[in-house]
């Protein structure tokens, strides 16, 4: 998997890429990250990458010429690989998008700056526009790191254990992950659930599934609408909701 990142501040990326999992993945040639300074393709004498917006308005707009030149020079005319534009107006990044992108051998990522970017970049260069959430940042570099991290960990071999991602939140079934514990078994009087300390793996798997259902219902009920739920899952949720309603009625605030 190769990432080509186009940014006005490429030095932002290296400190994060020099640690932990991504560093090992790069060292073992599982992923490549190439950063490119868009300003290197600004050929006017002042190397301008932004200008004032037509129609008025505050802020500066990233010019199309250097962005098109950078991407097409590195990835070719009409790139066949995905070219991602990071923008708060795009589709919100989720695990499904990360899995889809992980199927590609190469991904281009354009990081915006200033007020915005020329709309022709979105219309005629980017193949996909992705947001990391409903908020605005000063640039696309942090979203690019988040996108690369989410995609890279799905590349075979990056995490070492090929089953490591199967229980993560938003994994195949779309649920939040169940609670996790480690040693010591008792900390400040708080105990690890007894079922996890025992050796009955069938009961443990059932407990984990039920806890994922409860956590998703309590924290992100919107995910249940698209989750892959079995009839047993549905019966459990119905029973849990009835139990919860009875508890509220018996213990009103």
The domain ranges of the chain are 2-152, 186-250
pLDDT 10s per residue in the chain (253 long)? 999 999 999 999 999 999 999 999 999 999 999 999 999 999 888 889 999 999 988 899 999 999 999 999 999 998 899 999 999 999 999 999 999 999 999 999 999 988 889 999 999 999 999 999 999 999 999 999 999 999 999 999 999 865 555 556 666 688 999 999 999 999 999 999 999 999 899 999 999 999 999 999 999 999 999 898 999 999 999 999 998 888 777 776 6
Residue 168's pLDDT is what? 66
Q: Is the peptide bond before 236 cis (omega within 30 degrees of 0)?
A: no
Whether the Cβ atoms of residue 38 and residue 6 lie closer than 8 Å to each other: yes
Residue 50's pLDDT is what? 95
Give the three-state DSSP class for 100.
Answer: helix
Got the DSSP string for 145-184?
Answer: HHHHHHHHTTSTTSSSSTTTTTTSTTSTT-PPPPP---S-
The CA-CA-CA angle for residues 226, 84, 127, to 5°, reads 85
Q: Domain 2-152: which topology?
A: Alpha/beta knot (3.40.1280)
Distance CA 101, CA 89 (A): 19
Tokens linked to 221? 């009920």
Distance CA 207, CA 201 (A): 10
Residue 169's pLDDT is what? 63
Active site residues: 88, 115, 153, 168
Upper half-sphere CA count for residue 196 (Cβ side, 13 Å):
16
Whether the Cβ atoms of residue 149 and residue 123 lie closer than 8 Å to each other: no
Residue 174's pLDDT is what? 85
Tokens linked to 128? 């996909």
Q: pTM (2 decimals)?
A: 0.85
Upper half-sphere CA count for residue 97 (Cβ side, 13 Å):
18
- Average pLDDT of the chain? 92
Give the three-state DSSP class for 24.
Answer: helix
Give the three-state DSSP class for 226.
Answer: coil
32-37 and 2-7: which strand pairing?
parallel
Could you tell me which CATH number the domain at 186-250 has?
1.10.1270.20
Distance CA 166, CA 152 (A): 15
Which secondary structure element, helix H or strand E, spans residue 210, and what is its range? Answer: helix 201-219
**pLDDT tens digits, 89-123:** 999 999 999 999 999 999 999 999 888 899 999 99
């Amino acid at each position: 998997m190769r990432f080509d990142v186009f940014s006005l501040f490429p030095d932002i990326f290296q400190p994060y890429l020099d640690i932990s999992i991504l560093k090992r993945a790069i060292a073992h040639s599982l992923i490549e990250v190439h950063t490119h300074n868009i300003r290197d393709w600004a050929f006017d004498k002042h190397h301008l990458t932004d200008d004032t917006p037509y129609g008025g308005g505050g802020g500066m707009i990233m010019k199309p010429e250097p962005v098109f030149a950078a991407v097409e020079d590195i990835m070719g005319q009409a790139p066949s690989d995905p070219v991602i534009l990071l923008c708060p107006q795009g589709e919100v990044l989720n695990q499904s998008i990360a899995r889809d992108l992980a199927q590609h051998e190469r991904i281009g990522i354009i990081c915006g700056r200033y007020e915005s970017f020329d709309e022709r970049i979105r219309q005629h260069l980017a193949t996909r526009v992705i947001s990391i959430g409903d908020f605005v940042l000063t640039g696309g570099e942090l979203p690019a790191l988040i996108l690369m991290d989410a995609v890279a960990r799905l590349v075979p071999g990056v995490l070492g254990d090929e089953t490591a991602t199967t229980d993560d939140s938003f994994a195949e079934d779309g649920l939040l992950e169940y609670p996790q514990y480690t040693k010591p078994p008792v900390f400040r009087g708080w105990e690890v659930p007894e079922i996890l300390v025992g050796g009955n793996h069938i009961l443990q798997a059932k407990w984990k599934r039920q806890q994922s259902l409860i956590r998703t219902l309590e924290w992100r009920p919107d995910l249940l609408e698209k989750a892959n739920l079995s009839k047993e899952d549905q019966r459990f949720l119905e029973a849990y909701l009835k139990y919860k309603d009875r508890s509220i009625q018996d213990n009103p605030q």
